[in-house]
Amino acid sequence: MSTITAPSSLDDKLVAARSASRVLATVPTENKDAALRAIAENLVRSSADVIAANRLDLVAARENGVSEGLQDRLRLDETRLEGLARAVVDITGLVDPVGETVRGRTLPNGLKISQVRVPFGVVGAIYEARPNVTIDIAALALKSGNAVVLRGGSAAENSNRVLVEVIQDALASVGLPREAVQTIDEFGRDGAKALMRARGFVDVLIPRGSAALINTVVAESTVPVIETGAGVVHAFIDESADLELAEEIVHNAKTQRTSVCNTLETLLVHRAAVDRVLVPVLRKLRASGVTLHGDPAVRAAFPDSVEATEDDWHAEYGSLDLAVKIVASLDEAVEHIEAYSTHHTETIITRDYAAAEEFLARVDSAVVMVNASTRFTDGGEFGFGAEVGISTQKLHARGPMGLPELTSTKWLVRGNGQIRG
Amino acid sequence: MSTITAPSSLDDKLVAARSASRVLATVPTENKDAALRAIAENLVRSSADVIAANRLDLVAARENGVSEGLQDRLRLDETRLEGLARAVVDITGLVDPVGETVRGRTLPNGLKISQVRVPFGVVGAIYEARPNVTIDIAALALKSGNAVVLRGGSAAENSNRVLVEVIQDALASVGLPREAVQTIDEFGRDGAKALMRARGFVDVLIPRGSAALINTVVAESTVPVIETGAGVVHAFIDESADLELAEEIVHNAKTQRTSVCNTLETLLVHRAAVDRVLVPVLRKLRASGVTLHGDPAVRAAFPDSVEATEDDWHAEYGSLDLAVKIVASLDEAVEHIEAYSTHHTETIITRDYAAAEEFLARVDSAVVMVNASTRFTDGGEFGFGAEVGISTQKLHARGPMGLPELTSTKWLVRGNGQIRG
C-alpha cells in the first residue's frame, strides 16, 4: 500500500491520509498491534538519529532564549525514548474499540439494526514543541484505526521529522500505508491553517497545548474540534469539612505536580470554616512554598498573602500559586465556579451528605468530585490505559478521553426486503 | 423563576438562556412532563392566535412569490396544530435521558467514578420557514433539560413569535423560567450571526434545513455544531441481487416520499445485472413517473433517459429524478459512493453474503443497509420515539438522533480522602 514517491504538497498529503484511512478502517487488531510493536522497536533502534535531530532543535531553542522548562519538554534522550517505546507497546494491550457494538435490536418489521464503533477516519493534531506527543497521538490514532496528520510546534520540527520517518518505516515494514502517519510541519503556519480548513479530508482536529493555541484552533477551524486541557480547577471547603481531609486533599491537589491541568488553582472556603479549617490548610500550603493570592478576608488572616485581583480568579498558574476566596455559602461557591471555571474539575470537601449531592448535581464541569484530590482527573487513573487528552467541551467527549473517544459510530441495518409503508 | 421584564437585547436573551438552563438542568422529569402537557394544551387553546399570525406569514409568502411547496411547509391549521400538540404529549412518554449512568466503577483506590448524562445547557437552533420545527425542537430540548434559543426563517417570523409566547406562557404556568425557550428572530441576520459566535452561552448549535444553510452555519460558527440532513443517498444493485427485492426496494426508496433526506438519489448497478435486474427496475420506476439521468450505458438501454452530468452524481433532487450508473464491481460502487455521497444512508441489494458484509464494512456512512429501503433511516423507525434530526457528521452523534443525543455527560467522583501518590 505504500507509495513509491512520498506526497509532497499539502493537498497530496491530505488526499494520501484519506486514502490510508480507508485501509486502516478495516485492518484487524493484530495487524495494528504489530505496527505498534514495530514502531517501538524502530524507536529504540533509531535512537541515535532521533537524538541527533533533537539536538538541533535544542541548540536552536537555547539560541532563541527558550525557557529551561520548555527546553526540558523538548528534550529526548535514551531513557525518554525507551519510556516512549514502552508506552507504545502498552497500547497493544488495550481493547481495540473498532467494531464494538454500542447498541442494537431487531425492529418489529424484522430489520436488525446495530450501532458499531468505527474510526473517525483522519485525525488532525496541532500541538506545541513536545515531540513525545508525536509518538503518543500517532500510536493512539493507529490503534483506533485512524490515519493522523500532525502539526507540531516549529521548535520541534527536526525531532518530529525523524520521529515520523521512524513511524512510517515501521508501518511499511508490516505492510501498512506510510501515509497513515504524516507531518505537515514543513508547511509552517500556512500548513496549520490549511489543516483547520480541511473539511472533508480531516474528520476531527485535536489541539493540545496552551489556552491560546486551543482558542486559535477553535476560532479558525471549520473541521470539528475536540477541545482539551485548560484547567482553572476549584476546591470548595464546606462548613462541615473534616480538617485532616481538607489539609491532605488541598495540599495534594496544589503541590503534587503544579504544571498540569488538573492542579488546583482556586480554593473556596465557607466562612464558617475559616478559623477551624482554612488557617491550618493554608499553613500547610505555606510550609510547602505556596504563594497565596487572597481576598481581603484571607489577607486579614494571612497578612503576607498577595492581594487577589480579578485576574487571579481566572488564573491557571501552573506554579506554586493559589487563589483563595471566602464565600458565604455553597450557593456562592457554585456561582463563583460558574463564573470563573474552565469546567475541567472541581471538588468539594464536606461531611454533609446534602451538600455533597448538591455540589455534584449543580456544578457543571467535566469531572465533579467529593472528598478527593483533583489530580485524579486523568485517563490513566480512571483506568483507560492511555489518555488522548482531557476534553473540556460538551460535544462528543467530556473529561479524560480514551481510545473509544477517538471513534465515531455507524448504524448497520440488515434486512430481507423491507420497504416503508 | 420568570422575570418581570422580558430580556430585550440579544445579549440579555443569551444570559437569560444560560440562567434558565441552570434551573432546567436539575428539574425532575415530572415537572418537565408537566411543562410539555401545558404547552400542548396552550397550543390548542391559542390556535386562533397562532393561525392568525401564521396567516400574516402566508400572505407575505404569496406576495413574495414563494413556491406552493414552501407555502405548504409554512402553513398551520387546526388539524396541524392538534397534530403538533399530540406530538408534544407523546414526548412525555419518552425516557428522560438526564441522570442516566452511562458507565461507572470503583477504582482500586476506592474512588467511585460514574459517568452520567447531563443536559448540554443551551441548545441553539437555526432553521427555515417551518413553524412546526419551533414546537418540535423546543419540546425535545425541554425534555432533555436544555434551554433553547431559536432562530427560524424570517418568512415564519409572525408564526414563531406567537408559538414561542404560547410555550413561554405554558412554562410560566408550571413554575419554570419563560427564558428556557426564546426566539431571536427579531434580530434578523445579525441575530443569527451572533448566535453562531455565542461561545460560552450556547453549548451546541443545530442547523436544520437546506445544504446551503447548514454549510453557512458550519463555516461561520465558533459554537460546536451538529450537522444534520443533506442526503445524496445511494443504492447498489449487486450482480446477485434478487429481482423482486431490487424492484420493491428501489421503487420504495425513490418514490415513497421524494422530498426527504433519506430518499434514494443515485442508483448504482453491477454491469452483470443490467439485463436481468436493471431493465425491469427502471421500467417500474418509469411507470411511476421517475425521470432517469443515466450514464451512456443506461441511455443505451433507455434511450429517453436524460444524459447524466457530473452534477447529477452530486444531486439531492428532492423530486422524482434518479441518477443511474453502471459499475464494473462492488469496488467501483464503493469508490463512487466515497466520492459523491454525503454519507447519510446507502443500501446494497444482494444475495451474496460476502458482498453484503464487505459493503457494510467499507461504506463509511451514518447508516449502511443490506436489502432494505433507505427510507428507514429515521428516528421514529429506529424506535427513538422522536427525532432531533439525522446527523451526517462523525462527532458526538451519527445518524438519527434521539433525546440522548441532546445530552452531554459528566463524571462524578465520590471519595473519602483519596490523594494522588
Whether the CB of B354 is below 8 Å from some CB of chain A: the reply is no
List domains and CATH numbers for chain A.
10-190+401-414 (3.40.605.10), 233-376 (3.40.309.10)
Phi, psi at B130, each rounded to 5°: -125, 95
pLDDT above 60: residue B216: yes
Query: Is pLDDT of A152 > 80?
Result: yes
* pLDDT for res A3: 45
pLDDT average, residue stretch B329-353:
97
Q: Does A402 touch chain B (CB under 8 A)?
A: no
**A401 has a pLDDT exceeding 60:** yes
The DSSP result for B309-366, as a single string, is -HHHHH----SSEEEEEEESSHHHHHHHHHHH--SSEEEEE-S-HHHHHHHHHH--SS
Q: Which residues of B touch A245 (CB under 8 A)?
A: 416-417
The span from the CA of A286 to the CA of A259, in Å, is 18
Under a CB-based contact definition with an 8 Å cutoff, are residues B127 and B140 in contact? no
pLDDT for position A200: 85
Q: How confident is the model at residue B209 (pLDDT cuts 50, 70, 90)?
A: confident
Please tell me the pTM assigned to this model: 0.91
List, as one string, the DSSP characters of A224-243. Answer: -B--B----EEEEE-TT--H
Grid cell listed for A71: 527546553
Q: What whole-number percentage of chain A has pLDDT above 70?
A: 99
By Cβ distance, the residue of A242, A367, A376 closest to B410 is A367
Any idea which of A233-237, A311-315, B391-395 has the lowest mean pLDDT?
B391-395
- pLDDT per position as a tens digit, B122-152: 999 999 888 999 999 999 999 999 999 999 9
Amino acid B309: pLDDT: 96
Q: Which residues of B touch A412 (CB under 8 A)?
A: 360, 368-369
Q: Which of B382, B396, B414 sits opposite A113 (nearest CB)?
A: B382
For chain B, percent of residues with pLDDT exceeding 70? 99
Average pLDDT estimate for B184-202? 92
Whether ipTM exceeds 0.85: yes
For A288-311, write each residue's pLDDT tens digit: 999 999 999 999 988 889 999 999
Residue B272 has what DSSP assignment? G
Interface of B with A in 172-211 (CB under 8 A): 199, 203-204
Please tell me the number of Cα atoms within 13 Å of A215 on its side-chain side: 7
CA distance B366 to chain A (A): 5
pLDDT at B6 over 80: no
pLDDT of residue B4: 52
Inform me whether the pLDDT recorded for B3 exceeds 60. no
Torsion of CA B89, B90, B91, B92, to 10 degrees: 60
pLDDT at B1: 40
What pLDDT band is residue A2 in, cutting at 50, 70 and 90? very low
Q: How confident is the model at residue A4 (pLDDT cuts 50, 70, 90)?
A: low
Of A70-79, A235-244, A390-399, B385-394, the one with minimum mean pLDDT is: B385-394
What pLDDT band is residue A227 in, cutting at 50, 70 and 90?
Answer: confident
pLDDT tens for A20-43 read 999 999 999 999 999 999 999 999
- What does the mean pLDDT of chain B come to? 94
pLDDT tens for each residue of B380-414: 899 887 778 899 989 999 999 989 999 999 999 99
Q: Per-residue pLDDT tens for B259-307?
A: 888 999 999 999 999 999 999 999 999 999 999 999 999 998 888 899 9
Which H or E element spans position B151? strand B147-151
pLDDT in tens, B154-174: 999 999 999 999 999 999 999
Residue-level pLDDT at A171: 98
Confidence at residue A1, expressed as pLDDT on a 0 to 100 scale: 40
Of B282, B284, B273, B280, the residue nearest B238 (C-alpha): B273
